[in-house]
């Protein structure tokens, strides 16, 4: 645990008692604070009370009079489309609002670091797509090389639940826009921006607000190094704002779409090869084409981001290449389930929006596509560039018929549920094809979350192939 510093003797309130909320409450108590808690769910309040935390309805009159700060969990709206009533009350009362990420950066350093020969470092990763894979890949590269690393934030453990890092240890954080927008302290040593595509627009008042939330990771504390994906206008703009000039190697530009040129520090992937250039000359190259855990251009972008981040820590190219080759990927993110009779079965249930689904489709030449669910704003038109790769779509979900109608030129069968979709796809798949779950939609019409959807896909595939878990 990382006890929160600077709160001894103060009263702080925690709103939302999921993983991050309870973790924050415990870390505040360990730092000597009096901790009040509130959640709309009675069971969550009861669990917190059993741990000794004091429940208080934070929207009652004068409930915040003695509160020094309100700590808000990421799922709770704090600005758009409208603040949660307790957050609105705090804003009216002038009570500062923060989250567990702000508490983490407030508390990680301190005088104890003077005893370290090499102070611990923090790498923070944000972006629309690929941030989980990028963060996990950075963590994998570090641990594979024998370095101490902890993975936290949106992936792994809660940020305040980790162990205090040792000499030269690295903390790798995956941070969502909800977290970066609200944190009062953001001071990573290395910050990574993967890409930007429309998502969570209701929570940020539009695309500009969404980008501004991501940008805070780079603007608030000023990282020593910034790794920036420049394949979108927003990333190119951010890199330009951070760099003092073309040769400023504090900014490492990355791309999976084009060769980057100029005197600066660049890492890019073209035709399956990762290249590192610095001061106008090539430093390293890695063949990514046969790395099963990193298929497709979107994962090549993740590889570029992770490569750049650990290079900024001083790791050598050959050491990084060995780590890339041993990376198995993450569950539900381009995860290969099985390969039977030259047909691959891939679970990308995390492809919940059109942009991530497009990248998944572009990773394979011939696809039996399991898709559908609760569609997001904007429709499916952006998928058009990859639809010629689809041999057939097997559409699931409550909106299956309307989903299928938005796939012009694609043979689509409305299946409704996962079991039927997988059974048909397995029966009809030909050698050289990929049976791919990349829904391009949310899961909540049929599943609690994308993980449950991916687990169902995996179970259905294994059942149809007559395999046991771990046998594929």
Q: Is 326 marked as a binding-site residue?
A: no
CA distance 340 to 85: 54
Long-range contacts at 230-238 (CB < 8 A, ≥ 24 apart): 230/254, 230/255, 230/260, 231/195, 231/255, 231/256, 231/257, 231/258, 231/301, 232/195, 232/196, 232/197, 234/196, 235/193, 235/195, 235/196, 238/193
Residue at token pair 């004068």: 62
Q: Report how many helices (DSSP H) and strands (DSSP E) the chain contains, helices first.
A: 15, 20
Question: 95 with 67: CB under 8 angstroms?
Answer: yes
Q: What is the pLDDT of residues 438-457, one digit of tens each?
A: 999 999 889 999 999 999 99
Alpha helices in 184-335 (DSSP H): 201-204, 207-219, 233-242, 296-312, 317-325
Q: What is the pLDDT of residues 372-424, one digit of tens each?
A: 999 887 889 999 999 999 999 999 999 999 999 999 999 999 998 999 999 99
Domains of the chain as residue ranges with CATH:
11-98 (3.40.50.720), 103-325 (3.40.1190.10), 335-465 (3.90.190.20)
Q: Is 205 marked as a binding-site residue?
A: no
CA distance 184 to 400: 43
- Percent of the chain, pLDDT > 70? 99
Q: Is 129 marked as a binding-site residue?
A: yes
Q: Is 127 marked as a binding-site residue?
A: yes
Q: What is the pLDDT of residues 315-335, one digit of tens each?
A: 999 999 999 999 988 889 888
Question: 67 with 43: CB under 8 angstroms?
Answer: no
What are the Cα distances from residue 13, in Å, to 34, 113, 128, 309, 344?
8, 29, 30, 36, 50
Compute the CA torsion angle 423, 429, 431, 436 (nearest 10 deg): -80
Q: Is 131 marked as a binding-site residue?
A: yes
What are the Cα distances from residue 186, in Å, to 73, 285, 303, 362?
16, 33, 24, 35
pTM of the model: 0.86
pLDDT of residue 7: 96
pLDDT of residue 355: 86
CA distance 30 to 330: 33
CA distance 29 to 23: 10
CA distance 13 to 109: 23
Token couple for 308 = 């750049």
Q: Is 187 marked as a binding-site residue?
A: no
170-174 sheet: strands from edge to edge: 149-153, 170-174, 121-126, 190-193, 225-229, 251-255, 265-270, 273-278, 281-287
pLDDT of residue 39: 95
CB atoms within 10 A of CB 257: 15
Question: 228 with 202: CB under 8 angstroms?
Answer: no
CB atoms within 10 A of CB 185: 15
Regions of the chain with pLDDT less than 70:
110-112, 470-472
Q: Under DSSP, is residue 274 helix (H, G, I), strand (E, B) or coil?
A: strand
Query: β-strand 412-416 against 54-55: which pairing, if any?
Result: unpaired
């Amino acid at each position: 645990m990382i006890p929160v510093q600077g709160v001894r003797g103060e009263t702080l309130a925690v709103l939302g008692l999921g993983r991050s909320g309870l973790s924050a409450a415990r870390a505040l108590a360990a730092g000597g604070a009096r901790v009040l808690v509130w959640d709309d769910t009675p069971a969550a309040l009861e669990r917190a009370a059993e741990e000794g935390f004091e429940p208080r309805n934070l929207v009652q009159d004068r409930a915040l009079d003695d509160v020094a700060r309100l700590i808000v969990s990421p799922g709770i709206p704090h600005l758009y489309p409208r603040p949660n009533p307790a957050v609105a009350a705090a804003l009216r009362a002038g009570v500062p609002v923060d989250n567990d990420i702000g508490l983490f950066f407030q508390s990680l350093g301190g005088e104890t670091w003077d005893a370290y020969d090499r102070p611990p470092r923090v790498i923070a990763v944000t972006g629309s797509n690929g941030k989980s894979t990028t963060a996990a890949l950075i963590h994998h590269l570090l641990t594979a090389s024998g370095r101490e690393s902890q993975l936290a934030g949106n992936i792994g453990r809660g940020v305040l639940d980790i162990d205090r890092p040792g000499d030269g240890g690295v903390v790798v954080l995956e941070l969502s826009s909800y977290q970066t927008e609200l944190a009062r302290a953001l001071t990573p040593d290395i910050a990574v921006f993967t890409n930007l595509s429309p998502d969570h627009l209701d929570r940020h008042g539009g695309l500009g607000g969404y980008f501004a939330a991501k940008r805070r990771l780079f603007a608030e504390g000023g990282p020593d190094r910034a790794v920036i994906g420049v394949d979108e206008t927003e990333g190119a703009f951010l890199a330009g704002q951070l760099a003092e000039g073309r040769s400023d190697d504090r900014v490492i530009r990355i791309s999976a779409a084009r060769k980057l040129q100029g005197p600066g520090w660049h890492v890019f992937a073209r035709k399956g090869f990762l290249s590192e250039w610095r001061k106008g000359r090539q430093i390293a190259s890695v063949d990514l084409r046969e790395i099963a855990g990193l298929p497709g251009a979107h994962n090549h972008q993740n590889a570029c981001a992770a490569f750049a981040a650990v290079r900024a820590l001083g790791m050598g190219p050959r050491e990084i290449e060995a780590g890339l080759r041993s990376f198995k990927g993450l569950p539900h993110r381009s995860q290969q389930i099985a390969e039977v009779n030259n047909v691959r079965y891939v679970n990308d249930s995390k492809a919940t929006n059109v942009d991530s689904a497009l990248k998944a489709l572009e990773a394979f030449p011939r696809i039996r596509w399991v898709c559908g669910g609760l569609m997001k704003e904007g429709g499916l038109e952006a998928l058009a560039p990859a639809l010629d790769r689809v041999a057939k779509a097997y559409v699931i979900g409550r909106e299956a018929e309307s989903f299928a109608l938005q796939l012009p030129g694609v043979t689509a069968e409305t299946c409704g549920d996962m079991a039927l979709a997988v059974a048909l796809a397995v029966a009809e798949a030909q050698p050289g094809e990929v049976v791919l779950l990349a829904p391009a939609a949310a899961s909540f019409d049929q599943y609690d979350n994308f993980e449950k959807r991916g687990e169902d896909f995996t179970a259905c595939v294994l059942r149809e192939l007559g395999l046991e878990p771990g046998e594929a």
